[in-house]
Structure 1
Amino acid sequence: MLMLEEHLELTPQQIRCAVLTVSDTRNKKTDKSGKLIIELLQDKEYEVAAYEIVPDDSEIIKAAVKLLVKNHAVNALILNGGTGIAARDVTIEAVRPLFSKELPGFGEIFRMLSYQEDIGSASILSRATCGSINHRLVFIIPGSTGAVRLAMERLIIPELGHGVRELNKDL
């Protein structure tokens, strides 16, 4: 059985990510969460191959995700926004049917950490999740900067290389 250190040694050296912000109100100048994701990825020397903002529209979200996961320059996709329970929050409904595999542990642990370290009982209103599409790791996280920082620093960045390696080791 591999130990954690061995898992980390086997992770790919070059990981390229796409960032997709889902919002009706943000643009590339005002998208603090998208910029934070990019900054945190680049701090760990991950490449950002694409960055887009799309409106809270299920068909547009789905089309953008399909396009990004077909891109061979992308190993992982991080979406932020549209994970709540408001009528316009449709990111989960747009993307979940595209998953080959869903990784429910991500959302479960994210909500636990959110509860303990960030927003308390309001964490039950988050539907953050993770899965794979076309051998790409796809994270869907809330659009607040606090949620982005928590998800990126505590879950996504520590497991990004490991997840990408696992998705591609049998190809």
Structure 2
Amino acid sequence: MSEQEHKRLAKQSIVCKVITVSDTREKQTDKSGQLMQEMLTSAGHFVAGYEIVPDEQQSIRTCIQAGCDDSNIEAILINGGTGISKRDVTIETVAPMLDKEMTGFGELFRMLSYTEDIGSAAILSRAIAGSCRETAIFTTPGSSGAVRLAMNKLILPELCHVVRELNK
């Protein structure tokens, strides 16, 4: 079956949870989390949950686990905490939770970041995606530019397809 056929057979609306990892943002100042939600709903998806959690592994893990345990949540989109500073622990938290990693997501995100946005600073990005049981997980840097790039070029074009594959 071709990629187009896979996408055609996928449901067109996915139930998502958005998580912002930040020690400083609040709902009023969380531009990236708001942007993710707006882009998802504009594309016809449903945001069933939204949380801001601190850059702490237990807080991040608990929030992701709650999304994976909720049978209605099909995808979790996380922004923030993906850099290399001491406080950035999103990747260290998410990676061990993944049953399967979509390595192409991080590779393509860094390539797109390099060519379209930030040049050699793209090496600092540790974006990751994969699945935890039947839940798709996408993790992006916390800047609005990074979120917009990941959503437009990678996540939204494949979200329905990824969820379909996880539910076969």
Q: Same fold (TM over 0.5)?
A: yes
Counterpart residue identity of residue 134, structure 1: R
Shift in Å, 1:3: 2.5
Maintained 8 Å contact 1:70/1:134: no
Counterpart residue identity of residue 127, structure 1: R
How large is the Cα RMSD of the aligned pairs?
A: 0.8
Q: Is 1:81 aligned to 2:60, yes or no?
A: no
- TM-score when scaled to structure 2? 0.98
Shift in Å, 1:95: 1.2
Mapping for residues 31-110 of structure 1, pairs under 5 Å: 31-110=30-109
Render the CA deviation track for 1:31-64: whole Å, top value 9, x for unaligned.
Answer: 0000000010011110001000000001110111
**Structure 1: which 4+ aligned runs deviate by more than 4 Å?**
none
SS state at 1:50 partner: strand
SS state at 2:66 partner: helix
Query: Where do 5+ consecutive residues of structure 1 fail to align?
Result: none
Counterpart residue identity of residue 15, structure 2: R
Shift in Å, 1:134: 1.8
Number of equivalent positions? 168
Residue aligning to 2:164: 165
Residue aligning to 1:13: 12
Partners of 1:139 and 1:158 in 2: CA distance: 13
Partners of 1:57 and 1:166 in 2: CA distance: 31
Residue aligning to 1:131: 130
Partners of 2:107 and 2:19 in 1: CA distance: 22
The sequence identity of aligned pairs, in percent, is: 56
- TM-score when scaled to structure 1? 0.96
SS state at 1:87 partner: coil
